[in-house]
Amino acid sequence: MGLRVFVSLLALCTSTIDGATLPYHDGYDYHFKHMGVHLDLALNTKDNLMIGGKAYVELPVSSIYEFIETNIHMFKDLLAPYQKQILDTTIVEIGKLFKIKTSLFKEFLKIKTIKADITFIGEKVLEGIYDIAVDYTFVLKDGTEEKGTLKMKGEKVGGKFITSVEVVSKSLTVPTKITMICNLPYTHDITVTGSFGKLFINIANDVNELSVRVVTEYLGHQYKYSAVLSLVEKFFTLTYQEPGEQPKTFVIKHKVVNSYPRIEITGYVPATSYYKVGEFKTELIQNKLYDYEVKHTFNGLEILKLKIGLTKATLDITLAYRNFLKTRMVVDYTKKMVTVLFPKTNTWITGNKGIEVNIEYQPTNKANPLEGGHIKMVAMKGSVPLFKFGGYFGLIINAAKYELLFKNFYLENALLINELGHLEISTDIIEAKFNAKIFIDLINKYGILNKIAVEAKAEKNTEVLFNIIFTTVETSPKLYIYFPYFLKKVLNIHDIKYLETKFEHVVSGYEHTITIGCNYKNIKFVVKVTPTMIAYEHLVGQVSHFKHVIEFKFENTAKSFLVAVKSKFNLHETSPLYKMLYHLSPNYACFKEMTTNYHFEILDKTAMKAYISVYVLKDTALIFHFEFNNMQFPYKIMLKAPYLIVEYKPSTKEVKIVINSVTKTYYPTMTPIGENKFEFGINGEALAHVVIGIKNIEIITLHKALPTITAIFTWKTFSIFENSIGIQLLYKQIAHKILVGWNINNLAKAFMEVKMTGSGTNLLGDYELFHHLNWNIVDIKKIDLISTGKVLSTGLPYLNTPMMTNGQLAFNDFVVNMKMIVKHKTETYTLVFLTKPFKIAFLPFFTFP
């Protein structure tokens, strides 16, 4: 209610609205009735307006807003963002005491007219003494009225200024009252009472300290908050206390000890699931110019202690945890050498064994230390070395290559592990060596990929543990693996000591032959590719375990179209695939030769004269044969299959299909029940009604075990080269629709489009999924693809605004250039992949190189 009073006082400043003329009120000296505003005014004395008087006001609030909204576009555009902000912003919760939800504009727009009788006394208003009383009436748009009284009073008592505001509404049982006591410029006390409880705020300030204290009271319970900033004692304190509980404090103090600053943080932590209740203290101490110390204690127990000391060329760091884990690291650095020392006092890994670890790094290039250098690490127990470790590493990054090198790394006298008995690890290594290299050629390529070489070799006590080589830099790429443990324990190979795989690529005219050979059982994998054939074969020794040959023919002219594919897949009895199929079913799944022939030919695109033939042979048995021929009358449709029988009765137009499986026979039937309407069933039980139209088919489920679903299939033409097919599924209020369109009259330059829409589901809401793909194939070396897409789902928070995609993929002379752009809300993400020059990026996150 106080909000509406405040709005009414603001509205009194506006007097530019046309409206009906209102009658005068008796007992007033001055009258104003113009442009919809009515004001009557009477003064106690006409010589001094501030002495006092009374006034009557009527203000047409709704007319003001309508005028601004419809006629002054400049104000509308100016106030629009502020209006939305105010409408959307609410005060949800203050502490744990009360909840207030209000909106300035929402309350304001409910008011049609404001009426107010005002009396005021302000003879000493400049001294802070005044008295104002307002009897107000809000006439709402629905015709109801809200009445109340607003009192504002200022007085001076004992040198203090007291300002009080009280709102009494007939619709509220508890009046709202605000009292402010000011002792300028030092203290300010504000008290607010109402139906929500009581709020007391004290603000005190002087040259030494600033404090804010807040007490909220609700249902007899007090919640206390305070914040104190002391400029003299240099501390800041936050305190919070709930009813019947100990205060929670957070204090930051600044001190100067021996001319160096020190920061002390203390506080009280309540009990949670992660830590127990108690007091903590954290100190940040500067002992000298480059000597720092951090201490943390909890309930009087020192938990953490960190010391950092820095001299001209030494960094000394000591970390202690609960006084039983201690770590110290000393770093000495010069332009030529960096030394890291872990003294024998460390207990973080060695217990109390008195072991000292020294690490040295000497860069080969002083200007760029990360370019490479020598590493040396020694662990000592007294004067006895427990182990020595070291070697050289190098890193080269330039426009021609990337190279990472680990050279002559060694590990000697590895007795340290035996000293660490609490780790329960032992080793018999006396001396070990390791070398490795990773090389990427940024200029030369093998196919579409950069040439690469990876080598790694490790020895233990002069015995080779493993030796791995993978390279595409040489003329014939190869993979060499010498790893006895891996071969015997993992691969279960015992008759050879190493695996070696070689790769050969031979080009003869239009024929490409790729051979991958392995020394294990003389295994080979051979692939041959020609413009009309693809064949691949797996051989073990001289025995072909499987061979697959695919021959194809493709012709497309303005008049005709032909696609012919013949596939033959051979299996040997000793091959693992044959044994697996034999285990599944010796009669049905197992075979030695599988032959498949596809022939799709259109002799006349205009007349749609076509010949289609598909057959499948397993060994010598016919599995499936389908043939369609409308090149001459009568047309021919033939279907042969050992386990499928189709029967058509012209007299009843009934179609009967018999499916013989291994365990059961099924009899699907299609029985006419009306004009273009059929009943579909299996084994005499009706499942659905089917209605066939000119360019659509509608299916309605009937079976009690199935939900009542309506499926509608539509198509534009009977052409397989240019068409659009729609599928619509309806179930109660849920609807899904899929539309697929394409134009492949010219297969080298065509498009395909898919669009899915739906509504009525709780998870997805209203959704839309769209994808369009265009391609242009000039030849095998030049292919362009362009795609666009859209994803929208009102039920998913992260997709309730459309996500748009735009992609391009170009293949030009064996160079791949791909770019995918995704726009979601205000963000744009871009994926880039380019093979020459090589580049991969996911913007705005990273780009390489």
SS3 state of residue 458:
strand
pLDDT of residue 536: 92
Alpha-carbon gap, residue 679 to 332, rounded angstroms: 90
647 pLDDT higher than 60:
no
Please report where in the chains the tokens 């009192």 appear, as a residue. 151
466 pLDDT higher than 70:
yes
Cβ 171 vs Cβ 43: under 8 Å: no
Mean pLDDT value across residues 829-834 = 90
Alpha-carbon gap, residue 348 to 321, rounded angstroms: 9
62 pLDDT higher than 50:
yes
pLDDT of residue 11: 45
pLDDT of residue 346: 67
Task: Report pTM.
Answer: 0.44
The torsion defined by the Cα of 201, 204, 205 and 208, in degrees rounded to 10, comes to -130
pLDDT of residue 347: 66
Cβ 186 vs Cβ 204: under 8 Å: yes
Alpha-carbon gap, residue 478 to 501, rounded angstroms: 5
Which amino acid would we find at residue 161?
Answer: F
pLDDT of residue 457: 92
Q: Which sign, positive or negative, has the C-alpha torsion 587, 588, 594, 598?
A: positive
SS3 state of residue 5:
helix
- The number of C-alpha atoms within 13 Å of 848 and in the hemisphere containing its C-beta is 5
Q: Which two tokens stand for residue 128?
A: 């802070």
Q: Closest Cα partner for 726 from 689, 759, 754, 686?
A: 754
Length of the chain: 849
331 pLDDT higher than 70:
yes
576 membership: H or E segment, kind and range: helix 576-584
604 pLDDT higher than 50:
yes
pLDDT tier for residue 633 given thresholds of 50, 70 and 90: confident
Mean pLDDT value across residues 692-718 = 85
Q: Closest Cα partner for 595 from 554, 548, 543?
A: 548
pLDDT of residue 93: 37
Alpha-carbon gap, residue 155 to 219, rounded angstroms: 31
Q: Closest Cα partner for 813 from 776, 782, 778, 779?
A: 782
Alpha-carbon gap, residue 579 to 571, rounded angstroms: 10
Cβ 692 vs Cβ 678: under 8 Å: yes
Cβ 690 vs Cβ 677: under 8 Å: yes
Alpha-carbon gap, residue 196 to 546, rounded angstroms: 84
Tabulate helix, strand, coil % of the chain (nearest 5).
Answer: 10, 60, 30
Summarised one tens digit per residue, pLDDT across range 121-145 is: 888 877 778 888 898 888 888 888 8
pLDDT of residue 31: 80
pLDDT of residue 64: 72
Mean pLDDT highest for which of 149-153, 503-507, 597-601, 629-633? Answer: 597-601
Cβ 836 vs Cβ 813: under 8 Å: no
pLDDT tier for residue 6 given thresholds of 50, 70 and 90: very low
Mean pLDDT value across residues 442-464 = 87
522 pLDDT higher than 90:
no
pLDDT tier for residue 436 given thresholds of 50, 70 and 90: very high
DSSP state of 107: H
The torsion defined by the Cα of 170, 171, 172 and 175, in degrees rounded to 10, comes to -30
End-to-end CA gap in the chain: 65
Residues 6 or more apart whose CB falls under 8 angstroms from that of 766 comprise 758, 759, 792, 793, 794, 795
Rounded (5°) CA angle 554-559-561: 25
| Lowest-confidence pick of 382-391, 393-402, 493-502 | 382-391
Q: Which two tokens stand for residue 147?
A: 């009445």
Cβ 562 vs Cβ 553: under 8 Å: yes
Alpha-carbon gap, residue 669 to 682, rounded angstroms: 6
Exposure letters 722-756 (e unless 16+ CB within 10 A, then b): eeeebebebeeeebbbbbebbbbeeeeebeebebb
Long-range residue pairs from 68-75, CB within 8 A, at least 24 positions apart, any chain = none
Q: Closest Cα partner for 448 from 813, 775, 840?
A: 813
SS3 state of residue 8:
helix
Mean pLDDT value across residues 44-59 = 81
Alpha-carbon gap, residue 839 to 634, rounded angstroms: 61
Cβ 536 vs Cβ 514: under 8 Å: no
Please report where in the chains the tokens 């008011």 appear, as a residue. 111
Which amino acid would we find at residue 613?
Answer: S
Mean pLDDT value across residues 246-258 = 86
Q: What is the largest CA-CA distance in the chain?
A: 126
Instruction: Give strand pairing partners of 566.
Output: 551, 597
pLDDT of residue 716: 86
Cβ 530 vs Cβ 511: under 8 Å: yes
Alpha-carbon gap, residue 798 to 802, rounded angstroms: 9
Q: Residues of the chain with pLDDT > 90: what percent? A: 14
SS3 state of residue 732:
coil
Residues 6 or more apart whose CB falls under 8 angstroms from that of 746 comprise 556
CB 8: neighbour CB atoms within 10 A? 22
Summarised one tens digit per residue, pLDDT across range 393-428 is: 999 888 899 999 999 998 887 554 444 444 333 445
pLDDT of residue 644: 64
pLDDT tier for residue 91 given thresholds of 50, 70 and 90: very low
Alpha-carbon gap, residue 196 to 174, rounded angstroms: 9
683 pLDDT higher than 80:
no
545 vs 161, higher pLDDT: 545
Instruction: Give strand pairing partners of 254.
Output: 263
SS3 state of residue 512:
strand
Q: Which two tokens stand for residue 844?
A: 């705005």
- What Cα–Cα distance (Å) separates residue 134 from each residue in 6, 141, 651? 12, 22, 96
pLDDT tier for residue 103 given thresholds of 50, 70 and 90: very low
Mean pLDDT value across residues 697-719 = 84
Rounded (5°) CA angle 399-404-409: 155
Cβ 415 vs Cβ 387: under 8 Å: yes
Exposure letters 223-240 (e unless 16+ CB within 10 A, then b): bbebebeeeeeebebebb
82 pLDDT higher than 50:
no
Q: Which two tokens stand for residue 350?
A: 């060695």
Alpha-carbon gap, residue 828 to 746, rounded angstroms: 35
Mean pLDDT value across residues 819-830 = 90
